[in-house]
Structure 1
Amino acid sequence: MSIFEEVHERKKTRSVKWDMIESVFGSKEVVPMWVADMDFRAPNKINEALIKRAEHGIYGYTVIDKEVQDSVVNWIGNRHRWEINSEWLSFSPGVVNTLHMAIQAFTEPGDKVLIQTPVYTPFYNVIKGHHREIVKNPLIYNDGQYHIDFDDFSEKLKSGVKVFVLCSPHNPVGKVWSIDELKEIARLCLENGVMIISDEIHADLVFRGVHHTPIASISHEIADNTITCMAPSKTFNLAGLEVSYVVTSNKEKREKLNNQFTKQGYHPNGLNTMANTALEAAYTHGGPWLEELIAVLESHRNYVIETLESETTLKVTRSEGTYLLWIDCSALQLNSDDLKKFMIQEAKVGLNAGVDYGVEGEQFMRMNIACPRATLEEGVKRIIDAVKQR
């Protein structure tokens, strides 16, 4: 049996995804396919490294040393063809934490921040929570695919926007932006004096035929205008260990961000003991496991698309990356509240409501396919049966 086919019991492990289903969905009967973590064990090399560290039994303060830094530098160079310097790195418990710090460091209350909707829910919370103004550049949905409205993007940048928060690859629609799209984004931001904060947490999870390009890797000028947020957490299912990092080549911006980290009680060169250990192990030994994972996720994506579209009126965006699928439920002709209730009460699956990612997602649901095939098939079957019984 493949390691990705094994079903692991996650209930009573204090799992948000499994132990909170009743409080989130009001039912114990749903199959949880929502919050973005995987139902797969992390690579053995990571688990072995963590066990060895635990056997030492002393959990004092730890530092990010050269070995850990080099593992990040080498991973990004080999995986993403981006040669970075270890001095450019800052470390953080999570990308969302970094977004909070960055918004505070590089904008002031009342400043405009641009996002491309529908988009990851914390983008809204980070901007509004610090009293900045959200400016939206809605993505164009056409024939089951999403594209950037560059005319609107350009006009919005001219309205006084200070920062653009890029989601690359895009969550929830699964789009991996082409290098031409990224170049145009960067050109317009430079032209209008708009800084880029790029959330690239899903960078490693892209399918065959596409390649993720870190926007800052395109040119020195673009890198100088960008901070890039990355992590091994989605890639290797390490979210609970709280480990991420930021790549900032511009010294002034890096120091400004690090100062904001310090103000909030974070050390930009420190992680918790287990996060530190897992980061190095993941980037040193995790490549072969990741290749197997991507093949499984691509197979899962194809299964969901082919099965749902052949058996129901639902349409699924053909994602190019991430382990999240964006399902167009408009044929059901339900409003967002009724659609959510239908999935919970009739289909008995726990998905993320599309409306949570913006009004553009009112007729959509987001499905997490990073689970054993048996779990995936059960969730898909429940949806098909519920749709047919309407």
Structure 2
Amino acid sequence: MAFNFDESIDRRHSDSYKWRKYDGRDVIPLWVADTDFRSPPAIIEALRARVEHGVFGYGAPPGELATLFVERMRSRYQWRVKPEWLVFLPGLVSGLNLAVRALTREDMGVVIPTPIYPPFRSAARGAARQQRLAPMALTQGRWQVDLAAIEESMDGTEQLLMLCNPHNPGGTVYRREELEQQLAFARRHNLLVCSDEIHCDLLLEPGARHIPFGSMSEDAEQRSITLMSPSKTFNIAGLGASLAVIPNARLRMKFIAQRSGIVPNVDVLAYVAATAAWRDGQPWLDEQLHYLRGNRDWLAARINALPGLRMALPEATYLAWIDAGRLGVENAQRFFEQAGVGLSAGADFGDPRFIRLNFGCPRALLEQAVARMERAIRELG
């Protein structure tokens, strides 16, 4: 292995949001979605060269970055994206908020799967939009959204369907027929679609294939905003480089107008990192995926051997969605935090029975955290 994912890097005394939450406490943080891996050497070298240049004035998106992204979409997904469709953003969450505000009015509703990454619902809530929550259900080991479950309660004021593919939490990679059902739902109810695809490169299940929502047809293209980023893939989330793919010119202008004077441009170093990631990062990514698969499979075996916990294999992401409903404790996140493991509370995503565990870390750290969880459960019994 050319890259060392077993390397232990001390983040406790850095600016790490993930690790500083438990500053001064003996708690292993496996919650917020960044990894504890050193970013690819190609990115570090590109940043070093840019810093050596020494001038950090206002920056524009590099032409190479757009070219790399367009080629990436063509070669990976057979999606012929045009450079003028791209809107660069300093983070994907801002894209979720802009999509809600640009594509809906206050008297309109937003359809959102649940449980889901919290900023989806906070984007709707912050814009005072009504939410229609479509339940996720575990079917044959995969978490899938049941849009039919809410059709009878819809009143025609809904304007936007928000999707997460791969889904967070749960790690589902939607199949083409599932995406076609989502598109048919959007067409039936005359909905626009915002699809968060930030985890699309982190496919762990052999044979799984990511399909961008907008790539399915011209209709899907014209009614959608697709959000993508190299940030989760290459562990550069703190640099803030994301983009929206908006083929429909009218929707794109509304999106751009909504951000004017509020959402800043992308940082010049973020442009450098994103360009290096998509140009030179694939060998590192291939090895990271191999390492994450090992972590996932090891973790699932250990978790599913514990009384009171159940975990379906995520097809993508480095995030385990663990059912703790039978554990017999009032608050599983607090219970494991007191045992020295910091996890995400399922209530934040929409289901308090669950906890989310980030296994994007060296195996030794993961083993230490799971040993603490096992000990806490034994003592509970």
2: CA distance, partners of 1:300 / 1:31: 16
Deviations 1:44-82 (A, max 9, x none): 000000000000111011111321210111222223332
* 2:317 is the counterpart of 1:327: no
Query: Does the 8 A contact of 1:157 with 1:194 survive in 2?
Result: no
In structure 1, the partner of 2:333 is 340
In structure 2, the partner of 1:255 is 253
In structure 2, the partner of 1:281 is 276
Partner SS for 1:234: coil
Deviations 1:142-201 (A, max 9, x none): 565322224225445554211011011100111111110001101110121100011111
2: CA distance, partners of 1:15 / 1:65: 28
Query: Does the 8 A contact of 1:120 with 1:172 survive in 2?
Result: yes
For structure 2, list consecutive stretches of 5 or more residues without a partner in the other structure.
Answer: none
* 2:358 is the counterpart of 1:368: yes
2: CA distance, partners of 1:312 / 1:188: 39
Query: Does the 8 A contact of 2:163 with 2:193 survive in 1?
Result: yes
2: CA distance, partners of 1:259 / 1:343: 45
Q: How does 1:145-160 map to 2 (within 5 A)?
A: 145-155=142-152, 159-160=156-157
* Equivalent position amino acid for 1:356 in 2: D
- The equivalent position to 1:85 in structure 2, one of 82, 86, 102, is 82
- The equivalent position to 1:124 in structure 2, one of 116, 121, 125, is 121
Partner SS for 2:51: helix
In structure 2, the partner of 1:384 is 374
User: TM-score by structure 2 length?
Assistant: 0.95
In structure 1, the partner of 2:343 is 351
Query: Does the 8 A contact of 1:144 with 1:315 survive in 2?
Result: no
Pairwise CA distance, 1:100 = 1.2
* Equivalent position amino acid for 1:388 in 2: R
* Equivalent position amino acid for 1:238 in 2: I
Deviations 1:234-280 (A, max 9, x none): 000111101100001111111111111224253xxx42110110111
2: CA distance, partners of 1:158 / 1:236: 42
Partner SS for 2:316: coil
* Equivalent position amino acid for 2:373 in 1: I
Q: 1:128 to 1:120 in 2, by over 3 A?
A: same
* Equivalent position amino acid for 1:344 in 2: E
2: CA distance, partners of 1:173 / 1:196: 21
* Equivalent position amino acid for 1:117 in 2: T
Query: Does the 8 A contact of 1:343 with 1:349 survive in 2?
Result: yes
Q: 1:294 to 1:165 in 2, by over 3 A?
A: same
* Equivalent position amino acid for 1:355 in 2: A
Larger deviation: 231-240 or 101-110?
101-110
For structure 1, list consecutive stretches of 5 or more residues without a partner in the other structure.
Answer: none
Partner SS for 1:306: helix
The 4+ residue runs of structure 1 with deviation greater than 6 A are none
2: CA distance, partners of 1:182 / 1:31: 37
Pairwise CA distance, 1:334 = 2.4
1: CA distance, partners of 2:33 / 2:77: 22
2: CA distance, partners of 1:181 / 1:71: 29
Q: Which has the higher helix share?
A: 1
Q: How does 1:1-390 map to 2 (within 5 A)?
A: 2-22=3-23, 28-142=25-139, 144-155=141-152, 159-207=156-204, 208-266=206-264, 270-335=265-330, 338-345=331-338, 347-358=339-350, 361-390=351-380
How many aligned positions are there?
378
Query: Does the 8 A contact of 1:158 with 1:192 survive in 2?
Result: no
2: CA distance, partners of 1:68 / 1:55: 20
Identity of aligned residues (%): 36
* Equivalent position amino acid for 1:234 in 2: K
Partner SS for 1:9: coil
* Equivalent position amino acid for 2:107 in 1: G
2: CA distance, partners of 1:284 / 1:156: 47
Query: Does the 8 A contact of 1:313 with 1:331 survive in 2?
Result: yes
Pairwise CA distance, 1:41 = 0.8
Partner SS for 1:174: coil
Larger deviation: 211-220 or 72-81?
72-81
Pairwise CA distance, 1:299 = 0.8
